């Protein structure tokens, strides 16, 4: 089991918050929760990893370690130390959030086009405010590996809900920019542009490091994207 984990340096500003994005090499022996918690940089720091049965929707779930079986949903939120939030992706955009404070609040969001169409980011920000009194103006966001717009061709039936801000047209083809749509939704929810950290990894273009549904089909694996607050 390798510690080949991608992350953004100096993100977030909250001490004790750990995040990362696995690659093909990280979990070559399987992506079970025990394997994730056993990764070198996570071992001994987290006693529970939350995982969802992702359904490309907009359901936000609170993770406190009390539920063993995966629930349906596409976003996890928590302020409980020792709890690791995980989201699985293979082209969809993983978005991680942190509201820095004495007891940080964190979130992991699975953003495919269906979830973005259903405003999953805005709903997660609303739940952070409603459940944890987290101010969106203080929230820091970062993106993980995902398919870039040049590789993500869509049909006109998907284009309509998004519009010009995140749709690119070229040579009679239509492409969707998941990262741009996520950025727009974060800003619409009150997150400052300076608090949004972009990513430059394209899952479809890098078969050595990443799984890609568009490139490899439904049998491909998944990357695990995680964030959590360490105890103490």
Read off the CATH number of the domain in which 216 is found.
3.60.140.10
| Beta-bridge mates of residue 197 | 142
The closest alpha carbon to 139, from 191, 182, 65, belongs to: 191
pTM of the model: 0.96
145 found inside a domain: yes
Q: What is the SS3 assignment for 165? A: coil
pLDDT 10s per residue in the chain (232 long)?
446 899 999 899 998 999 999 999 997 656 678 888 999 889 999 999 999 999 999 999 999 988 777 899 999 999 999 999 999 999 999 999 999 998 999 999 999 999 999 999 999 999 999 999 999 999 999 999 999 999 999 999 898 889 888 999 999 999 999 999 999 999 999 999 999 999 999 999 999 999 999 999 999 999 999 999 999 7
Is 80 within a domain?
Answer: yes
Alpha-carbon gap, residue 212 to 70, rounded angstroms: 23
Q: How many domains does the chain have?
A: 1
Domain housing 192? 18-149+178-227
Is 8 contained in some domain?
no
Which residues is 142 bridged to in the sheet? 96, 197
């Amino acid at each position: 089991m390798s510690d080949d984990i991608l992350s953004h340096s100096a993100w977030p500003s909250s001490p004790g918050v750990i995040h990362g994005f696995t690659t093909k090499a990280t979990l070559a022996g399987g992506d079970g929760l025990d394997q994730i918690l056993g990764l070198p940089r996570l071992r001994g720091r987290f006693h529970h990893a939350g995982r969802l049965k992702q359904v490309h929707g907009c359901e936000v779930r609170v993770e406190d370690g009390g539920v063993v079986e995966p629930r349906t949903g596409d976003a996890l939120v928590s302020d409980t130390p020792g709890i690791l939030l995980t989201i699985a992706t293979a082209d969809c955009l993983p978005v991680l959030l942190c509201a820095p404070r004495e007891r940080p609040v964190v979130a992991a969001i699975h953003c495919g086009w269906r979830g973005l169409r259903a405003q999953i980011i805005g709903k997660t920000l609303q739940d952070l405010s409603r459940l944890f009194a987290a101010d969106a103006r203080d929230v820091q966001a970062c993106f993980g590996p995902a398919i870039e717009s040049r590789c993500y061709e869509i049909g006109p039936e998907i284009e309509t809900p998004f519009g010009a801000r995140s749709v690119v047209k070229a040579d009679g083809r239509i492409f969707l920019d998941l990262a741009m749509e996520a950025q727009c939704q974060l800003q619409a929810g009150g997150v400052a542009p300076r608090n949004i950290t972009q990513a430059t990894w394209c899952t479809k273009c890098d078969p050595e490091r990443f799984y890609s549904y568009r490139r490899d089909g439904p049998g491909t694996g998944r990357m695990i994207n995680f964030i959590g607050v360490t105890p103490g």
